[in-house]
Amino acid sequence: MEATHAEVQLRHVEKDVLIPKMMREKARELCAEKVEAFSHCCKESGFFMVFKCRVENAALKECLTQHYKDPAFFEECKQEYIQEKMEYEKTGVAAKNRKQKLPTSM
């Protein structure tokens, strides 16, 4: 009998480490423009980045924090994590291995 998402019991490490890790990765994708602006500023500013990139750093932190504190975003990531976990239990293939693309030189 297959478990539904509501029936899946998550371990402490899944709720407090693995799902937040997924949230961080997805938030960085959602804030890609701000990540790029901050990275560009740092490359241009060198040693003085601490002073010169305050605006970009603040914008990046605000964007990321907005996602980290969003309960709907946590729930979205949790459901995605559970789906991946159930798929792994069914197939034995990890999500990162299922998502790998074939080399374009083939």
Per-position b or e across 14-25, b if 16+ CB within 10 A of its CB? beeebbeebbee
Measured CA to CA, the distance from residue 54 to residue 97 in angstroms comes to 38
Say yes or no to pLDDT of 102 above 50: no
The pLDDT value recorded for residue 99 is 59
List, for residues 32-61, the tens digit of each pLDDT value: 999 999 999 999 988 888 889 999 999 999
Residue spans per domain, the chain: 11-93
pLDDT of residue 91: 85
Q: How confident is the model at residue 4 (pLDDT cuts 50, 70, 90)?
A: low
What's residue 7's pLDDT? 67
CA quadruple 62, 64, 69, 75: dihedral positive or negative?
Answer: positive
Rounded Cα–Cα distance for residues 50 and 66 (Å) = 22
The phi, psi pair for 60, rounded to 5°, reads -65, -50
> What confidence tens digit (pLDDT) does each residue in 53-98 have?
999 999 999 999 999 999 999 999 999 999 999 998 888 887 776 5
